[in-house]
A and B are shown apart, each in its own frame.
Chain A
Amino acid sequence: DTEVTQTPKHLVMGMTNKKSLKCEQHMGHRAMYWYKQKAKKPPELMFVYSYEKLSINESVPSRFSPECPNSSLLNLHLHALQPEDSALYLCASSQEPGSAGELFFGEGSRLTVL
């Protein structure tokens, strides 16, 4: 069983809605990530938090807004999304930033934008 928990598992939203994806890890990891994955493509990095501070933002549109309330939690706030934003959103964590350690994924949140 994964130790990275994501909610909700499925989300359908309209283009004017505001919603949030949530992620929690209990492994004591200090780096947390958001990835986006489209069908038949590899995961695409969106954001990285190291020690609760945003360290990487891969030029993601502002309609995606990440938040790291504490070392165990990571949120992704969604607003005014487009249908092309429909994808599997993956949260991941790794032990220490810069440790070259392994990346562990949650089960993902499948987002559909109507």
Chain B
Amino acid sequence: QKEVEQNSGPLSVPEGAIASLNCTYSDRVSQSFFWYRQYSGKSPELIMSIYSNGDKEDGRFTAQLNKASQYVSLLIRDSQPSDSATYLCAVNPDNYGQNFVFGPGTRLSVLP
């Protein structure tokens, strides 16, 4: 069974610090990886997608992918209280299906 794992948290960081969120996946052939942010009571919002090994930066967010280690991470620089949310890691196990597999999510709390 294809699995995506994340630390459930809560992960607490002070305002202005770097928040580091981690995700591992079981299906070695997975090709597409996504990070979603979900505020309480709201729907998931796509914040990053990454397909190749290495780093991808978008503003304060950096996604890192290491396919050999089956590991994807999200760094949030200069964390703000508004970043407090649950972050879902999602993996598309192959490029021909639509069955995205979601991790359980990590709850991030940024303390003012």
**Chain A residues with a Cβ under 8 A of chain B:** 2, 31, 33, 41-43, 45, 48, 50, 55-56, 88, 90, 94, 97-108
Looking across the interface, which residue of chain B has its beta carbon closest to that of A110?
Answer: B41
Q: By the criterion CB–CB under 8 Å, are B49 and A97 in contact? A: no
Q: Kindly provide the distance from the CB of A1 to the nearest chain B CB, expressed in whole angstroms.
A: 11
Roughly how many angstroms separate A17 CA and B100 CA in the complex, as a whole number?
31
Whether a CB of chain A sits under 8 angstroms from the CB of B60 is no
- Besides A106-B43, A108-B42, A108-B43, 10 new A-B residue pairs in contact (Cβ under 8 A), listed by A number: A42-B88, A45-B99, A56-B98, A90-B43, A98-B95, A98-B98, A103-B34, A103-B90, A105-B36, A105-B43
Roughly how many angstroms separate A96 CA and B80 CA in the complex, as a whole number?
35
A-B contact count (CB 8 A): 56
Q: By the criterion CB–CB under 8 Å, are B98 and A105 in contact? A: no
Residue-wise interface mask of B (34-75) relative to A, using a CB-CB cutoff of 8 A (1 in contact, 0 not): 101000001111100101000000000000000000000000
**Assuming A42-B105, A107-B43, is B98 touching A102 (CB within 8 A)?**
no
Roughly how many angstroms separate A33 CA and B98 CA in the complex, as a whole number?
9
Q: By the criterion CB–CB under 8 Å, are B95 and A42 in contact? A: no
Residue-wise interface mask of B (78-103) relative to A, using a CB-CB cutoff of 8 A (1 in contact, 0 not): 00000000001010101111111011
Roughly how many angstroms separate A107 CA and B43 CA in the complex, as a whole number?
5
**Chain B residues with a Cβ under 8 A of chain A:** 31-32, 34, 36, 42-46, 49, 51, 88, 90, 92, 94-100, 102-105
Roughly how many angstroms separate A50 CA and B99 CA in the complex, as a whole number?
12
Roughly how many angstroms separate A9 CA and B61 CA in the complex, as a whole number?
30
Q: Which residues of B contact A101 (CB under 8 A)?
A: 32
Q: Kindly provide the distance from the CB of A74 to the nearest chain B CB, expressed in whole angstroms.
A: 13
Instruction: List, sorted by A's number, 5 A–B pairs whose CB atoms are closer than 8 Å.
Output: A42-B88, A56-B98, A98-B98, A100-B95, A107-B43
